[in-house]
Amino acid sequence: MLKVLLVDDEAPILNNLNRVLPWEEMGMTVAGMARSGMEALRIAEEQRPDLVLCDIRMPVMDGLTFISKLREMGLESEVLLLSGYQEFDYAQEAIRLGVKEYICKPIHYEDLGRKVREIGVKILSRQFKDKLYNSIPLFQETPAAETGSAKKTPDQLMSLAVQYITERLNTDIGIEEVASRIGISSSYFCLLFKNRFAMTFVEYVTLQRIEAAKFMLESTGKSIAVIGAGIGYQERRYFTKVFQKQTGMSPKEYRDRHRKAEV
């Protein structure tokens, strides 16, 4: 489960954030709640949250100062700012601190839930990149442990599924295969998967394949055809089509743009 830290000096808002959003369904758990930046720092140090929902205006230590301290601690948690203030200076400082998302008060919880799900997918994608980086040679298959569904929670089952998918992105993997591997029916698997990731199995696999392709385009000199084959697309033309649909540019354009950005 991804860990979430909630930070707001207004107790009613803090309690609503904890109570209203379907955290477990989104594959997340509230690891801590804080009403000040100082308290939030203490919890962050202990829990090392993946995501922080933080009010921008708080007494003693405001949200931006808290985030700055968070970065000084070496934590790269994704941050979603909650704010009734839209001053340009705040936006500039937030961008400098790596904050890319915010929700304006009064909070519309449906919109907030949608935004949190999107960030959750982003965090999982980043973790997937980290796994790729630390598992060279890429896509080297490792024997999966025998698993069964007995006494496993939905979250544990989905974690096993993600592990199995990640290790086999270069194969023609399907729902039936993954569901059978973790010991549940295909229909139950689809239900759990959609609840956990807010997307279909095919959408998730495509997203992870494209994230892997982007990583390799940025960090290796492998040919586009080899990269495509490495993530399950044997035909370069089809790989290019899928990549362009997901990113708005061809693999070559993506690689060229990244290299220019590094110059």
Q: Tell me: pLDDT of 125 over 70.
A: no
pLDDT confidence of residue 131 = 58
Domain match, 162 and 64 both: no
Q: Tell me: pLDDT of 189 over 60.
A: yes
Domain that holds residue 221: 202-261
Domain match, 36 and 101 both: yes
Q: Do the domain assignments include residue 245? A: yes
Q: Do the domain assignments include residue 234? A: yes
Total domains in the fold of the chain: 3
Q: Tell me: pLDDT of 135 over 80.
A: no
Residue type, 140: Q
Q: What is the mean pLDDT of the chain?
A: 83
Bridge partner list, 33: 6
Q: Do the domain assignments include residue 133? A: no
Of 147-151, 195-199, 207-211, 258-262, the one with minimum mean pLDDT is 147-151
